[in-house]
Amino acid sequence: MLKDSATIDVHAGDGGDGCISFRREAHVPRGGPDGGDGGRGGEVTLVCNPQLRDLGAFKRKRRFAAGRGGHGQGANRHGADGDSLEIDVPPGTVVTLEDGSTIDMVSPGTRFVVARGGKGGRGNAHFTTATRQSPRFSERGVAGEESELHLQLKLLADVGLVGLPNAGKSSLLASMTRARPKVADYPFTTLEPVLGTIEADERQLVIADIPGLIEGASEGAGLGDEFLAHVERTRVLVHVLDLAPLDGSDPIVNHTTVEAELAAHNERLSRLPRILALSKADLVSPDEAAAAKAEWEQRLGPDVPVMITSAATSMGVADLSKFLVRTVPDAPIIGDEIPEGRTIYRPAENRGFDIDRDDEGVWTVSGEGIDQLVARFDLENDEALAELERRLRLIGVLRALEDRGFEIGEDVEIAGIVFELDAE
């Protein structure tokens, strides 16, 4: 069964810690610090893989983690970088991040970094200066990013077959292509989208049979809007309308119902080119079919071609296939939104910070980069604390505090820790 949505948790690898080490060998004077750096944690990347058709791979596994970086060692030996993790998703997957932003995985080979690996900490060999010959501190590795992602598959089809349950969409698809959807005489026989292809004139069209829509589908009635997303990328909709509904319903009302649900789901669908396929013509007389065709042509106007079809007798099926091949635009399925070639999406790091002051006079400095900086150092180590204050001064935190009215002696909270910073 087609699985078209999934929620997964991804965790990039943590960075390795830097090492505190000093070179101490016989006959080697002034050995000095030689602590190596920690390795960077592996990142988690989504990759658009054209070999996949749905999100079934995420049915049993939800959590994915990359490798952590190795710790630094003495003799300036750096830790190894953690193994990165690639997660394959099918073309047409829409990824929704925790902040609500989305990215479309459409073009095969597209890569999207969803969790960056933590940076490795620097060993004490990095912190040697003219006045600090033997630093007894190093940096800790930064934790890798964690995120919950929602994946939704929107099929990449050129043509979508829409209509009420039992309108004859599955039978029509089976007649036009080699697809073998389930066909039966009860509503909602089709429980998931089915794809078929038409090949002609050195061209291939992908056709999607969308499960039947009823009134209120856009709000969850029947099969609901669960599958309406699959017609969003199509370039042409074939509205399949039963000429002689067995339940005695009015075809005009049936047509209006489906069109209203499409428009309610996505305004773009109401603007897509339409073809009206009057199905099951074998159940009415030729005169009745011709009269219905003329009536619908007058009602819909010249912009909506009307064709008479019968999957049972193949009436009009070949003509519909040829018409689709001739008229469907030969262009990317969602136009300019598809990037050419291999595209890599890599979110930018947030290096900014914000300053606030509460009613009790405590200053707060917040920001992703600031929090990571504080987490790098052992605040019980006086040398490490002094280095942290120097770094805060270099990136402008202390100056920004002073500009806001900070005075020596006031408390500053950074990453949940209260400091007494020296502004000089």
Pair 206, 304 in one domain: yes
pLDDT tens, position by position, 88-140: 998 888 899 988 888 888 888 889 999 999 999 999 999 988 888 889 999 99
| Domain presence at residue 4 | yes
Domain boundary among 332, 364, 380: 332
pLDDT tens, position by position, 205-245: 888 887 766 454 444 443 445 556 767 778 889 999 998 88
- Please name the residues in contact with 301: beta carbons below 8 A apart, sequence gap of 6 or more: none
The CATH number of the domain where 388 resides is what?
A: 3.30.300.350
Pair 45, 127 in one domain: yes
The pTM (predicted TM-score) of the whole model is 0.69
Split into its structural domains, the chain has a count of: 3
3-state secondary structure of 381: coil
| Domain presence at residue 242 | yes
| Domain presence at residue 307 | yes
| Domain presence at residue 424 | no
- Looking at 143-301, list the stretches that DSSP marks H as alpha helix, in order from N- to C-terminal side: 169-176, 251-265, 267-271, 286-300
The CATH number of the domain where 269 resides is what?
A: 3.40.50.300
Residues 106, 333: Cα–Cα separation, whole Å: 9
Pair 343, 327 in one domain: no
Pair 63, 100 in one domain: yes
**pLDDT band with cut points at 50, 70 and 90 for residue 365:** confident
Pair 303, 206 in one domain: yes
| Domain presence at residue 319 | yes
Pair 75, 137 in one domain: yes
Pair 286, 339 in one domain: no
Pair 3, 123 in one domain: yes
Pair 177, 263 in one domain: yes
Using a pLDDT cut of 90, give the percent of the chain over it. 34
- List the one residue out of 317, 66, 45 whose CA is nearest residue 198: 317
Pair 115, 197 in one domain: no
Pair 216, 228 in one domain: yes
Residues 85, 99: Cα–Cα separation, whole Å: 22
* Domain coverage including residue 381: 354-419
The CATH number of the domain where 63 resides is what?
A: 2.70.210.12
| Domain presence at residue 91 | yes
Residues 317, 168: Cα–Cα separation, whole Å: 12
Pair 397, 291 in one domain: no
| Domain presence at residue 303 | yes
Residues 42, 47: Cα–Cα separation, whole Å: 15
pLDDT tens, position by position, 308-357: 999 889 899 999 998 998 888 765 444 334 444 445 566 666 667 888 88
